[in-house]
Chain A
Amino acid sequence: MLFNSYQFIFLFLPVALAGFYFFGSIDQKLALYYLVFASMVFYGTWSVFYLLVLLALLLVNAGFGFYLCSGQRRFRKTARNLGILINLGILGYFKYAYFIASNVTDNLRILADFRDIVLPLGISFFTFQKIAFLMDAEKGLVGEFKLSRFFLFVLFFPQLIAGPIVHHSEMFGQFRSPRFARFSWNALATGLTIFLFGLFKKTVLADSIAPLADGLFAASSEGRDINLVCGWVGALAYTMQLYFDFSGYSDMAIGLGEMFGLRLPINFDSPYKASSIIDFWRRWHMTLSRFLRDYVYISLGGNRRGEPRRYLNLFLTMLIGGVWHGAGWTYIFWGALHGLYLVINHAWQQFAAPRLRPVLTLPAPLTAGLSWLLTFLLVVLAWVFFRAPTMASALAVVQGMAGLHGLGSLAAAGVDALSQPRMGMRDLMLLPVLLAIALGMPNVRELMGTAFPLLRDDGRERRPALLQWRPDLRWAAAMAMVGGWAIIASSGISSFIYFQF
């Protein structure tokens, strides 16, 4: 069930909310069980079989979690490692078996066995969640283990499929809170507003620009030459589509969590405004970045083993991030590219910038503008590999963006070369509009301001938003228009990009 489907908006959500607060008015535990059940229904509507797989995995992890939290001193590391291995093994089977097989054999019979494996929705996300849980449980950071809370922590439907990747320390406290399952108009008002913002981003903005991006990558995978204009229009269109799609999904998840009185961590903070790649990864898919930093980079040794090792760890962490996104050379290359970007960025900050600063004096706005432009272009370039179905297709687009197949024209971009005959200038005009929104508008976090305090203060300066949300008539009317438009646009159902991961 998709958040942007009518079944979800008009049936599942109202029933889930009403039941949750009804049971909450009787007993908090009942509400918790009900929410676990509702989340299972949510997942089960996609596939009952994979719901059973998920539940089996949860029980196995609960067993390890119980052992690690029970104060046992023996075999703690073994239990943790075994738990992690099982999680990675299951993820590996569903996600990477075919990719590995296709790279080691040409035997069609063997490949056919692996090709039909369907990836359970959200497996990459909940696998990371459980690994983080086991690692912290082994260190004694989890505290008391409660099966029902553990189930809700993983299964809570707003974050189950595509994050934000929540941390147990953020959720268990909320489950224990006396305010859990107590209805609040305040939570409903903010949650509804954030959800509608997200829905608008997805159904109106992301889905509108999607054909432009799809056209480019379809043309490149068919082996057609991509000219400069088409290459850039398509790559920028995908850059916008991915952001509005995934940040829209995250906003919807956060809004839903808020409606249930459970605060989820934010996942995006205007990433395309980033002035460096380091800054970009502090703003893009923030909960994944956090996981990679805390559980991969630091586990690899972080910066504790000298500079060369630090850079290697950075690179490896991003490479693992790429592999996590998908089983394919394009994802691996995308991860490696960002690893390289980060290494260069850190090296620049450490070695080059201090030496150049006294010599090269540029006006601050110019430096900031150039930094932003370089960062943005590098990110766009990397997205080409992220989106393209094959390396050959990605390289064809990159060649086009480099002008190796001619300049082209906007008319061609709209009509022929993107194989989208209906794509006219009106659709192309959407691109600058989306760019302006992504780069010039405050994000949801800034719009909501103090009405939506963060789970953790990230130390980032809070910029006063020009348009600060308030529960007044003007905002209610504006959001009704935004929400109504988004719901109407939902009639053409489209899945979320990050569901494939």
Chain B
Amino acid sequence: MVRLPGNRSYALLLLAGCAAVVLSYVLACVVVDPYGVFDLFAFSRNNPERSLRYAKTAYIAEHCSEYRGILFGNSRSLQFSERDLQTYFEEPVFNFSVQADALPGIEEKLDWLLPRCPFKDAILVVDAQMLLSRPLDQGLFLREHYLVSDTSRLEFFAPFLMVPPKIVIKTGLELLQTAFTAPPPGAKPELVADRAVRTGILPVQRACYAPDPANPRAYRANLAAFHRVLDRLKAAGRSVRVIVAPLNQNLLARFDYRAVADAVSDVVASAGGAAVFTGYNALALDDDLYMDVGHFNGATAGLLLQIASTHERRGPLMGWYGAKEAGALRDLLIADGERRAAACGVVAPPAPATSRPSEVSAQFLAQ
């Protein structure tokens, strides 16, 4: 056995050895399985780059009998903790929210879940952006688990085997870019934690009302998917609770307020009522309630659940609206948006003089 000169050599060698073991392991994780889809390394389970879709689907596939409720939503509703859900809904609820989820994605998950899981209650968390925008392209990071997408394992896993070096390089470059890029002019530093926002990839930071052009086609597709989701759940005898999540004022400013009003009132009318938190209400105007411009924080999430669980309304655009109130809600949202637009010096074109759900929703109600 090689003798070491003493404790000093031993201690240094031990520290270097530990570092070498840990670094080799981390490197293997990053290069071989950065998204954690192969579930080879514990490190990947805590790696923020992990594919949440894969992880959550793999989990619920084995644990669905433990839950009486399932919550669907996007990265905003990731903030709803299972503890709060249990507290306010008084039953175990699995939070199946994943980043950038859209209504077609929720529909796909439901198709897979309904025949397999005995859950009784579904909670759908939607928001104006989810309803009015086109779903993001399904890059590798956003790919559904092969169980949900009903693809072969080979088809699912093979692309992951091809890309790790690319991801490593891309992530590295993004990090460098973020480090050397100043926030957009006028942006509040506390609202630009989102790397994409800081680097200007998604120019969502709006100081004032300045909507992007509306995309009626995307909205129609999303609303149709929403209706199909409701249909499927009703047909399977599951109860549905809908929450329309708040958007920060800077993000809400991207959307035409009439389109927002239509979308929210359509959702309320279709679902037979919903807990609504969208609009330029107290939640949208208080930046402290957000982690970044796109996401409210955990404390806000707890508050939303507390209100949503009671069917109460705590104020205008802050709580339960029944189906019969959908028209009044639409008017309220339009008036709210007009005030905001006027304050920003934007002269809005005259709104249609109707207090009724939009055309798409009317068709659905007629069915």
Contact = CB atoms under 8 A, between A and B. Distances in A.
A471 B14 CA distance: 10
A225 B15 CA distance: 49
B15 A473 contact: no
A472 B7 contact: no
Given A473-B1, A473-B4, A491 B14 contact: no
B60 to A, nearest CB: 11
Given A188-B11, A488-B43, A476 B4 contact: yes
B153 interface: no
A472 B10 contact: yes
A484 B17 contact: yes
Interface stretch (A189-197, A331-339, A381-389): A189-197
Measured as residues with beta carbon below 8 angstroms from the partner, the interface class of chain B is: 20 to 34
A419 B2 CA distance: 50
Contacts, number: 89
B28 to A, nearest CB: 11
Interface stretch (B19-27, B256-264, B304-312, B351-359): B19-27
A476 B13 contact: yes
B100 to A, nearest CB: 26
Contact of B45 (A184, A481, A484, A492): A492
A487 B8 CA distance: 22
Given A476-B14, A488-B42, A491-B46, A186 B7 contact: yes
A185 interface: yes
A491 B13 contact: no
B223 to A, nearest CB: 37
Nearest to A191: B11
By secondary structure, the B interface counts as helix
Contact of B66 (A419, A473, A485): A419
Contact of B17 (A189, A477, A488): A477
A422 B59 CA distance: 10
B21 A484 contact: yes
A51 B15 CA distance: 32
B6 interface: yes
A414 interface: no
* A contact face: mostly helix, strand, loop, or mixed: helix
A189 B25 CA distance: 24
B94 to A, nearest CB: 14
A471 B25 contact: no
Most buried by B among A188, A419, A492: A188
Contacts of A188: 7, 11
B18 A185 contact: no
A476 B22 contact: no
Contacts of B10: 189, 471-472, 475-476
A424 to B, nearest CB: 11
A488 B45 contact: no
A73 interface: no
Given A186-B7, A189-B7, A472-B1, A480 B42 contact: no
A492 B46 contact: yes
Interface string A293-335: 0000000000000000000000000000000000000000000
B3 interface: yes
The 7 closest A-B pairs by CB, nearest first: A480-B17, A484-B21, A471-B10, A189-B7, A473-B2, A185-B8, A476-B13
9 contacts: A186-B7, A192-B11, A421-B63, A473-B2, A473-B4, A479-B17, A481-B17, A484-B22, A487-B22
Interface of A: 184-186, 188-190, 192-193, 196, 419, 421-422, 471-477, 479-481, 483-485, 487-489, 491-492
